[in-house]
Amino acid sequence: MQTYYKYPTLQVIPPEKYYVTFIFVINAQTKFILNLKNYPVLVDPSRYVPIKGYFKIFQRKELEMHHMSYVRKNIRFKMENAGAKCNYVNNINKLVNHYENFKEGDQAMCAGKKSVYYDLHKVSNQFNIKI
């Protein structure tokens, strides 16, 4: 996964080191289970369904999710409604303040159990996203 911050032209460096699930066979018996631990790699806990059968781990050069999680008109709405909010609920005001006062050249402040600052790399707006 490659995360972007504030603009679709600012990538968080280094890229995320966990995985997101990609393709599942979904049927009436499929259940979403938060924080399920039956994956062979670290997977975003908001994207768990039980694994049955084949599991393929793609390398970044084969398949990469471009995550615009911090490219928002209203970052507070995102922070207050995210499934991972329990990890940073006491830092929402600090995270929003940093985001709203961000200037190009600043580091990104990303939410987590500990708020972390990341460097940013400028890239082209390859998805032509307008905010």
β-pair type (66-70, 2-5): parallel
| pLDDT tier for residue 21 given thresholds of 50, 70 and 90 | confident
Mean pLDDT (the chain) is 88
**pLDDT given at position 1:** 87
What confidence score (pLDDT) does residue 93 get? Answer: 96
Torsion of CA 29, 45, 86, 82, to 10 degrees: -80
Higher-confidence position of 26 and 4: 4
Q: Which residue has the higher pLDDT, 126 or 33?
A: 126
DSSP 3-state of 86: helix
CA 16 vs CA 13, 74, 107, 118, 128: distances in Å: 8, 23, 16, 11, 22
The closest of 8, 1, 14 to 73, measured between CA atoms, is: 8
91-104 mean pLDDT = 96
User: pTM of the prediction?
Assistant: 0.85
The residues that bridge with 60 in the sheet, in sequence order, are none
Q: Kindly indicate the confidence band of residue 36, based on its pLDDT and cuts at 50, 70 and 90.
A: low
pLDDT digits (tens, 9 = 90+) for 40-95: 888 877 777 777 667 788 999 999 999 999 999 999 999 999 878 888 999 999 99
